[in-house]
Amino acid sequence: MGEFYALMCAVVWATAVIFLKRSGETFSPFALNLFRVGVSSALLVVTVYAAGQGLLLDAPVRDYLVLVASGVIAIALADTMFHKSLNTIGAGVTAIIDCLYSPLVVTFAFLLIDERLSVFHLLGMALILGGVLLASRIESPAGLDRAAQVKGILWGVGAMIALSLGVVMAKPVLERSPLLWATTVRQLGALAFMLPVATPPNAIIYGSGEVPIGKMARAGIILNIIGVVV
């Protein structure tokens, strides 16, 4: 059944990407990701209690912290960057960039949890990296200049780096914890990180897409520094 589930996962994700692309034409990357995380968090909490597990398990505090950090990196940050990339360069090129996920997971597993790399791992990584470099030479979508295409690719690469890092850092905890509980804690961690940013004024601005997140972040940093000094 493993092969069947792997195939269905690819089919479901491909379908989801198309819907996300259409939704991205209306909503900003942050607003879309916040909506996804909020809805999925609510459904996961209901599912956890329906399964009789609960959210507060007798687990070390460190496990909670690792799962929350993993959710922030791999869900809040990575998925927002993924939506930005998808909106910029489209589903075709983004799908190729997604292939970076596997070699990045292997690399982080080697660096963080001391997993060994075989010759086949290295060969596969080289082939995937070659495919991504080839994708960067694909003609830009209509109306998109070269600079914007490069930015879109970089957003996608950043998303894959954050996603793979978040997954690998949580792997030891996932191996010794109930999967549904761990998934829910990660999702709630991402939501808790995003909600302070999603105040009503910020949500309106993010949702409109008129002011880029980077511009707001720069202004916020400056104002915070002024506030600390005052």
Alpha-carbon distance of 151 to 99, in angstroms, equals: 18
Q: Predicted confidence band at 26 (pLDDT cuts at 50, 70, 90)?
A: confident
Instruction: Look at residue 215 and tell me whether its pLDDT is greater than 80.
Output: no
Instruction: Give the pTM.
Output: 0.76
CA distances to 69, 84, 113 from 22, rounded to whole Å, are: 30, 13, 38
Q: What is the pLDDT of residues 72-90, one digit of tens each?
A: 999 999 999 998 888 888 8
Alpha-carbon distance of 18 to 85, in angstroms, equals: 13
Question: Smallest Cα–Cα separation from 105: which of 153, 165, 158?
Answer: 165
Instruction: Look at residue 165 and tell me whether its pLDDT is greater than 60.
Output: yes
Instruction: Look at residue 139 and tell me whether its pLDDT is greater than 60.
Output: no
189 against 128, higher pLDDT: 189
